[in-house]
Amino acid sequence: MGSATARELARRGRQVTLLERFSPGHLNGASHGASRNFNVSYADPTYVAMLAEALPAWRELETETGDDLLDLVGIVNHGANPAFAEVKRALDGAGIPAEFLPPGEAGRRWPGIRFDREVLFTPQAGRLHAERSVAALQRSAVDHSAEVLHGRRVLELTVLGDDEVRLRVEDTVSGAVETITARRVVVTVGAWTTKLLTGILPLPRLVVTQEQPAHFRVLDDTLDWPGFNHSPDPEDADYAFWPSPIYGMFTPGQGVKAGWHGVGPQTDPDSRTFSPEPVQLAALQRYAQEWLPGVDPHDLVPISCTYTTSLDSNFVLDAVGPVVVGAGFSGHGFKFTPTVGRILADLADGVSSAPRPFALDARR
């Protein structure tokens, strides 16, 4: 999100410095790895409009950088989600293709996945390459004269006035500390948001969890794999072992990625174990055994990332004085990255206020 904002501000002619604590491609946050679902299955009109903006923005970034970032392989939504009909109506209204398929037809088209009820298929959805996208955003930012500095940890942020912020910044290699002043600062530090901004902004509660998806080996390389979202039936005992809905997608060269949504153990981002919680990992293998006939449930590679989740699962995109914050992406933000970058740039430029669902509001 910070990379997208830096790019957008640089394209507007602003003098921009992007500070990143870790090295390129690091594993400490929420934006690494090769795959994220570009899922369009939303009913909320704010998110649907953001998706309609994001798709051409991703394509524009691909054209500019020459990188392949978004593969529209489609996404299948299945299981006991009562909102599917509402989602279909919202997508129809926005001109985003969506269709219902009977489980038998879906199973014939995608035999690597088992379906037991009607499927909502969205063909204008698919898979984003996460690491490649971040790198492309940063290259574009540099091409538009932004300065991008890795290995720079912000130790302290102080508001000096309506148009002045001071940062104490540590070079994580040399240990040297410098002071930077700016008219505006945009803070998009994920799991570190509360640590850095407590006392500066009236943040809602943000819960940081260590999420533990895994890649499962594919048994047949000729199968087509859409992304998928699968909702449990709370009235059916067969789903009792599920801690949450599940998501997944095929990651070329790595297998099928599947993971529980937002139920990993709470963690401090500076003292993570990166080790999977065994009960949830065993449940994930059982899910693969029962619902993904196209993979080997015993041949898997666990991976680790963080979620920073607000209590309502909506984003936090707002500004107070010279400080703009983007946080609380709650495990579903990556697809919106270029749109979020535009919104945060608008907030930094003072040309718009926060969209209502994302405002810093005591009711959240």
CATH number, domain at 59?
3.30.9.10
Residues 234 and 194 in one domain: no
Residues 264 and 284 in one domain: yes
Q: In whole angstroms, what is the distance from residue 287 CA to residue 258 CA?
A: 9
Residues 297 and 322 in one domain: no
Give the pLDDT of residue 361: 80
Give the pLDDT of residue 132: 97
Give the pLDDT of residue 106: 98
Give the pLDDT of residue 314: 96
Residues 291 and 257 in one domain: yes
Residue 135 and residue 66 in contact, taking contact as beta carbons nearer than 8 Å? no
Task: List, in order, residues 6 or more apart from 92 with CB less than 8 Å away.
Answer: 98
The parent domain of residue 164 ranges over 2-31+132-207+310-358
Residues 280 and 218 in one domain: yes
**Eight-class DSSP state of 275:** P
**Eight-class DSSP state of 334:** G
Which tokens is 174 given? Answer: 């040399």
Residues 173 and 278 in one domain: no
CATH number, domain at 162?
3.50.50.60
Residues 66 and 143 in one domain: no
Give the pLDDT of residue 363: 64
Within a domain: 62: yes
Residues 45 and 95 in one domain: yes
Give the pLDDT of residue 286: 98
Within a domain: 363: no
Residues 157 and 298 in one domain: no
Give the pLDDT of residue 282: 98
Residues 272 and 321 in one domain: no
Residues 123 and 185 in one domain: no
Within a domain: 66: yes
Backbone angles phi, psi at 350, to 5 degrees: 70, 25
Residue 27 and residue 360 in contact, taking contact as beta carbons nearer than 8 Å? no
Give the pLDDT of residue 355: 87
Within a domain: 364: no
Q: In whole angstroms, what is the distance from residue 95 CA to residue 98 CA?
A: 9
Backbone angles phi, psi at 353, to 5 degrees: -100, 175
Provide the number of structural domains found in the chain.
Answer: 2
pLDDT per residue rounded down to tens, the chain (364 residues): 999 999 999 999 999 999 999 999 999 999 899 999 999 999 999 999 999 999 999 999 999 999 999 999 999 999 999 999 999 999 999 999 999 999 999 999 999 999 999 999 999 999 999 999 999 999 999 999 999 999 999 999 999 999 999 999 999 999 999 999 999 999 999 999 999 999 999 999 999 999 999 999 999 999 999 999 999 999 999 999 999 999 999 999 999 999 999 999 999 999 999 999 999 999 999 999 999 999 999 999 999 999 999 999 999 999 999 999 999 999 999 999 999 999 999 999 999 988 889 999 856 6
Which tokens is 11 given? Answer: 């394209």
Residues 222 and 268 in one domain: yes
Domain's final residue, options 257, 287, 303:
303
- pTM of this prediction? 0.97
Give the pLDDT of residue 303: 95
Give the pLDDT of residue 354: 85
Exposed e or buried b per residue across 46-60, where buried means at least 16 C-beta atoms within 10 angstroms of its C-beta: ebbebbbebbebbee
